[in-house]
Structure 1
Amino acid sequence: MSVEIRRVQSKKEKKSFIKFAWKVYRKDSELKKYWVPPVVADYMKTLDKEKYPLYDHADIALFTAWKNGRIAGTIAAVENRRHNEIHKDKTGFWGFFECINDQDVANALFDSASQWLKAKGLDAMRGPVSPSMNDQCGMLVKGFDSSPVFLMLYNPPYYNNLVTNAGHKIGQELLAWYIDQDLIDIKRLSRIAQHVMKREQLSIRTINMKDFDNEAAKIRDIYNRSWEKNWGFVPMTDKEFDFMAKSMKQVAKEHFIYFVEDKEGRPIGFSLTLPDMNIPLKHVNGNPFTPWGLLKFWWYGRNISAFRTIVMGVLPEYRNKGIDSILNAQISEYGGKHGLYSSEMSWVLKSNEAMSKLAKVIGGIPYKEYVIYEKEL
């Protein structure tokens, strides 16, 4: 039977687009064991051009593939004009890819996305990026035997073959580092941190949640300045960052968001670590907002002992001075005192030797690998 491609338009079709993933993961006992269903309401916001700030400078098209009268796959194509302005290229993106194990279906999805991107005047496609590099990205290619942590992705092993057989090549490789609290030499880390703080006349503090908006603005400034030279990075607009900060505030913990400040009290670095909310989300089937969902979310989220360090940022003029050791020491010390058994540092470019060295110093193990693919159009 031939594959039919349909363009998603209505709210009902968007919900079906999102819910198709259940058909992929629920029918396979191994995938079902580890997969964490996305929060449908959050994905609906992300795909809403009127609500999600990304679309002030981007466009998105959603496609579903149908075979034998049934939905068989999904993909999104994204034109990010801000990315292309900053990087001086004509790259489009694809994401939200879910598919049965059928190369014809995958090919039809990629063809539809590429045709839409070419019509926008773009000459390359990169993904999975869902829908921007500041959101979820990367195809899991190693580490299928554990659930993803908060805001990281999971997919069947066969997805890699579907993508490469469709002509996509590896663009970048990403790592997720597992940090076992019992393996960290906290005393050594603390000595290094104290030495750096004394030498550079620095101090460290937690975020002031009572002054959250101003604190978030400081994070935004450091983040955009410290990451501007990184591969694929696009600085977040104020509107984008405020939207993200508002959603993060709901799960943020004061003792896992730190600022390093200079002797004048000016923030020069930060780290953002969040509880692994995937632990309770795994039990609510994509909807934590029903009475039963709220109860389950509360029950399984009472004592989360695993965390994810999402991002660290240090101003360019303070790089290579050991600032990251101060942040890691503080996180590790707090974790050791409060029974937190593990964290994940992700994602990190495999080519970023400095970050890999840092992860190894604190006992990290690269236990998951992801790929962002590229293809010329």
Structure 2
Amino acid sequence: MVRSRADMDDFIRLPYRLYRAHPHWVAPLEVERRQFINPRRNPYLRVSEVGYFLARRGRAPVGRVAAIIGPDGPARGRQGHVGFFECIEDPAVARALWEQALDWLRERDVQTVTGPMNPNMHHECGLLVDGFDDAPRICMPYNPPYYADLFTEGGFTPVKDLLSWRLSPTSRKVTQWADYADMLRRKHGLTVRTADWRHFRSESGLVRELYHACWQDNWGYAPATDAEFTYLARQTCLIAPTGVHIAEYEGTPVGFTILLPDINQALAPAQGRLTHYGWPAGAWRVWRGYRAITRGRLLATGVSENGRGKGAALALISAALDSARRRNWSEVDVSWVLEDNRAANKPLAALGAAVHKRHRLYARCVRHSQPCSCLTAHAHPAPENTHDAHV
């Protein structure tokens, strides 16, 4: 278990060692990773129990995992998560990590565990199982193909796939669909506006209420605390000041969408550091790369019950794609979408979008080494009336 500052340093730096020569992995900024895993910076970690585990061979770190119990754990039958998993291609190392993490969860009366989540559904989650030949988009995880075997050999069962759709904002189908969406918007008197972050508290509170209203019936839903949502909203505001659109019907907000630039394109040249030998070479590379971003990620589209049937989802996505065209982006990644969310997947396919990545969530009973009946609750399909792409 991670107990010292040196252990935590090795925990944070392990991915940089494992992926050093990998052509597609994008190194996050190390300073950002340190802040993200710091409870004083990340409000979710302040209200959660987290155990960090590090495997070594000799003195060299060769694997890591975190066991997480969120604030919703007791109310949800003591469910836990595993996340931040990284490991060399060695089942023995992975088994040692699982054993330590599951023992820690078992001692805290956790019954089932899902993952990977870093650290929950509001952040990076899922194991990449298809689409290894392309770099990850912003806030999406990347891992080698053999990780799936390490999960299944550790007794984990697949419970849900998360789809990433690739869409061209300038395609003929998208243009035709935008005209139809505009017709519906005018017919029902909908308006779509950009969030005004000069009024941060009221705008973030509005989006938070819409988020909870849209996602409360979705698989895996766990409400974000006010502090966590404010943290996420500040990050979104920093990355994409004009990326949030809000749909209104008769003056009442009924939906929202979030479109982010894929800053992984800008981060890749920095190789995880803003400074090199005291010079801000990495910061300059990020700045230069940011100006050359050519794609974005449609992070979320949520429409409340009052907005469904009025074309609110179409109007929001149309506004987001129009924003992408104005930025001369050649691609928008719509991710992630639950595999059984037909209300979201069917229109994307009709627009000519293609699934180019697939991430998978796994579950395991903490008390048993083999799949058992207590996992059936994790595998139910998405509700028929959902119109939401995660996030």
TM-score normalised according to structure 2 size: 0.89
Q: 1:190 aligned to 154, 178, 189, which one?
A: 178
Whichever residue aligns with residue 373 of structure 1, its letter is Y
2:153 is matched with: 165
Whichever residue aligns with residue 274 of structure 1, its letter is L
Q: Does 1:282 align with 2:271?
A: no
Whichever residue aligns with residue 257 of structure 1, its letter is V
Query: CA offset at residue 251 of structure 1?
Result: 1.1
Whichever residue aligns with residue 30 of structure 2, its letter is V
Alignment of 1:89-104 (within 5 A): 89-104=77-92
Secondary structure of 2:72's counterpart equals helix
Q: 1:36 aligned to 15, 26, 37, which one?
A: 26
Q: 1:49 aligned to 34, 39, 59, which one?
A: 39
2:248 is matched with: 261
Q: Does 1:294 align with 2:271?
A: no
| Whole-Å separation in 1 of the counterparts to 2:98 and 2:33 | 21
Alignment of 1:176-255 (within 5 A): 176-254=164-242
- In structure 2, relative to structure 1, the CA distance for the partners of 1:83 and 1:351 (3 Å cut) is farther
Secondary structure of 1:221's counterpart equals helix
- Given that 1:184 and 1:332 are in contact with CA atoms closer than 8 Å, whether structure 2 keeps it comes out as no
| Whole-Å separation in 1 of the counterparts to 2:200 and 2:249 | 20
2:369 is matched with: none
| Whole-Å separation in 2 of the counterparts to 1:358 and 1:224 | 23
The superposition leaves residues 271-296 of structure 1 with CA deviations (integer Å, 9 ceiling, x where unpaired) of: 00010000011111222366111111
| Whole-Å separation in 2 of the counterparts to 1:78 and 1:245 | 23
Q: 1:319 aligned to 308, 318, 321, which one?
A: 308
- Given that 2:73 and 2:80 are in contact with CA atoms closer than 8 Å, whether structure 1 keeps it comes out as no
65-74 vs 97-106, which deviates more? 65-74
208-217 vs 274-283, which deviates more? 208-217
- Given that 1:57 and 1:82 are in contact with CA atoms closer than 8 Å, whether structure 2 keeps it comes out as no
2:6 is matched with: 12
1:144 is matched with: 132
- Given that 1:206 and 1:258 are in contact with CA atoms closer than 8 Å, whether structure 2 keeps it comes out as yes
- In structure 2, relative to structure 1, the CA distance for the partners of 1:92 and 1:294 (3 Å cut) is same
Q: Give percent identity, aligned residues only.
A: 29
| Whole-Å separation in 2 of the counterparts to 1:345 and 1:98 | 26
| Whole-Å separation in 2 of the counterparts to 1:82 and 1:56 | 13
Secondary structure of 1:260's counterpart equals strand
- Given that 2:296 and 2:324 are in contact with CA atoms closer than 8 Å, whether structure 1 keeps it comes out as no
Q: Which runs of 5+ in 2 are unaligned?
A: 367-391
| Whole-Å separation in 1 of the counterparts to 2:46 and 2:260 | 28
Query: CA offset at residue 110 of structure 1?
Result: 0.8
Q: Does 1:356 align with 2:350?
A: no
- In structure 2, relative to structure 1, the CA distance for the partners of 1:93 and 1:55 (3 Å cut) is same
Whichever residue aligns with residue 10 of structure 2, its letter is S
| Whole-Å separation in 2 of the counterparts to 1:171 and 1:135 | 18
2:381 is matched with: none
Query: CA offset at residue 344 of structure 1?
Result: 0.4
Whichever residue aligns with residue 121 of structure 1, its letter is D
Name the count of aligned residue pairs: 363
- In structure 2, relative to structure 1, the CA distance for the partners of 1:50 and 1:335 (3 Å cut) is closer
188-197 vs 216-225, which deviates more? 188-197
| Whole-Å separation in 1 of the counterparts to 2:74 and 2:314 | 34
2:323 is matched with: 334
Query: CA offset at residue 184 of structure 1?
Result: 4.7
Secondary structure of 2:240's counterpart equals coil
Q: 1:272 aligned to 253, 258, 261, which one?
A: 258
| Whole-Å separation in 2 of the counterparts to 1:280 and 1:176 | 20
Secondary structure of 2:51's counterpart equals strand
Secondary structure of 2:352's counterpart equals coil
120-129 vs 208-217, which deviates more? 208-217
- Given that 2:257 and 2:320 are in contact with CA atoms closer than 8 Å, whether structure 1 keeps it comes out as no
TM-score normalised according to structure 1 size: 0.92
- Given that 2:249 and 2:307 are in contact with CA atoms closer than 8 Å, whether structure 1 keeps it comes out as no
| Whole-Å separation in 2 of the counterparts to 1:340 and 1:121 | 48
Query: What's the Cα RMSD here?
Result: 1.6
Q: Does 1:156 align with 2:150?
A: no
